[in-house]
Structure 1
């Protein structure tokens, strides 16, 4: 069974990104192994630490390496991905030549309470994933306006059509991921 790592770009409790991620995960095949990775505890990446990495780096890298496929859901901060998400991408792609993201499939989703639904963060994340040799599924494009689809207090997706759409994307991603998983 495919092992999925879910990476939410938001580090807050009850985040809208986590709510979107859970709605996507609902569409994965029954019995899928799903691990929501913590990125808020990672020290800021510093190349000087490569020779003696902090335990948080080593644990995160091992979790990323153990996954067969990734589900990324990001909010948009200042027209880009949040700093914690960029840091997580850097930590698991270093030291140079030891990128543990490489060669695996990913689903990318963005969410925002704004009208453009995090589209700029979405494409910024995709650009970074291309460099990291991660194979992002092209369709469907998942730009979610959470102001009309989610409970702002709990982060849960409440709109039934959006839940169905996201679960369908999760099911489609499971099929896409099969191309990369032994």
Structure 2
């Protein structure tokens, strides 16, 4: 069985981001038939269409990392009931210039964690709309709107035993779905 190459994009730049912590825990929990790669988006300049003909090295690097992946896992917080600006900026850069959409046909999955009782539901809904426009088939079910509560992560930063099986099942579905949705 081929090893899936999954790019992870975390929509938060915070050093102590609980979404980055969630992404790290997912990497540790995944099977042996997957390799994860974190794609840096914090060094991208603000998108400006005037720069399409001479994209910065950081944009070219990000586009290459996406193009060389088998799928993309978005791990995002919710900012003001939507996706963070840094994530939207990365999506815009990856889709440009016109006709050079690095996201095209890449299977995607979305997960996020927040102190809010509805987790990152609204951010994920907005992100789904953007991903549809970018032609990224996106895992629909199960959705993962995680509320950050005391004890979700253990002292080592791993997902606690109480939530481990729940997340493991989602990871298995996500990886199977990405595997089945590969495009040549």
Matched, 1:134 2:153: no
Question: Structure 1 length normalisation: TM-score?
Answer: 0.91
Aligned length: 181
The structure showing larger relative contact order (alpha-carbon pairs under 8 Å, at least 6 residues apart) is 1
Tell me the residue number matched to 2:9: 7
Q: Which residue of 1 aligns with 2:175?
A: 174
- TM-score with structure 2 length normalisation? 0.90
Matches within 5 A, 1:133-172: 133-151=135-153, 156-172=157-173
* Structure 2 residues without counterparts, runs of 5 or longer: none
Instruction: Give the Å deviation of 1:9.
Output: 0.5
- State the partner residue of 1:23: 25
Distance 1:113 1:62, change over 3 A: same
RMSD: 1.9
Give the drift of 1:157: 4.8
| Displacement after TM superposition at 1:27 (Å) | 4.2
Counterpart Cα distance in 1 of 2:180 and 2:165: 24
**Residue 119 of structure 1 pairs with residue 121 of structure 2:** yes
Q: Which runs of 5+ in 1 are unaligned?
A: none
1:21-100 maps to which residues of 2 (within 5 A)? 21-100=23-102
Q: CA deviation at 1:166?
A: 1.6
